Structure 1
């Protein structure tokens, strides 16, 4: 089982490594035992955390109220809880390019 997420009933806990200030918001793949996300928002006054919550709500097809930042408000390393998503976390990982 993957170390970067855990599902308990309809609650999904994700361990994230977030890189704010990127050109665009995207899933970058795995970073150790965390899912790496790039965010277009700057890391000032909570803007990156707000953008992270909106981005995750969109990725997991849930309303914003179903996303909760559990740990890491001031850190790149974060833990979030997502409630009632039918999206499988592995489906978000970028697939290797075919040569």
Structure 2
């Protein structure tokens, strides 16, 4: 099933490492997408940065990425509008980036 504006949101497991020296999408470990953010884990700063970097990697608006669980944990579940899980995995496969 292809994603689109009327598609159900895709849910993805996310592991966020806050306080990193640089922001990056580090690829997949099994079913979990790993990201690093510079922002500290306080007052939602790391969560907002994680949503933004995932959106940037996917080429979509940050408004289309939402953390739905794990707000106070490194392990989160995010919902992404307009893309299928397959499209998300393809766009975040760091082994294909140049």
User: Fold conserved (TM > 0.5)?
Assistant: yes
**Aligned-partner Cα distance in 2 for 1:93–1:42:** 26
58, 81, 84: which one pairs with 2:82? 84
Q: Is contact 1:62–1:85 with CA below 8 Å preserved after alignment?
A: no
Q: What stretches of structure 1 move > 6 A for 4+ residues in a row?
A: none
Gap regions ≥5 residues in structure 1 = 1-6
Point out where structure 2 has 5 or more consecutive residues left out of the alignment. Answer: none
Quote the Cα distance in structure 1 between the aligned partners of 2:62 and 2:88: 18
Contact 2:57 2:91 in 1 (8 A): no
Q: How many residues end up aligned between the 2 structures?
A: 89
Structure 2-normalised TM-score?
0.75
Q: Give the counterpart of 2:16 among 6, 15, 18.
A: 18
Structure with more of its chain in strand, by fraction: 1
CA RMSD of aligned residues (A): 2.2
- Once the 2 structures are TM-superposed, how far is the Cα of residue 64 of structure 1 from its aligned partner? 2.2
Higher helix share: 2
Determine which structure has greater relative contact order: mean sequence separation of CA pairs < 8 Å that are 6+ residues apart, divided by chain length: 2
Give TM-score scaled by structure 1 length.
0.75
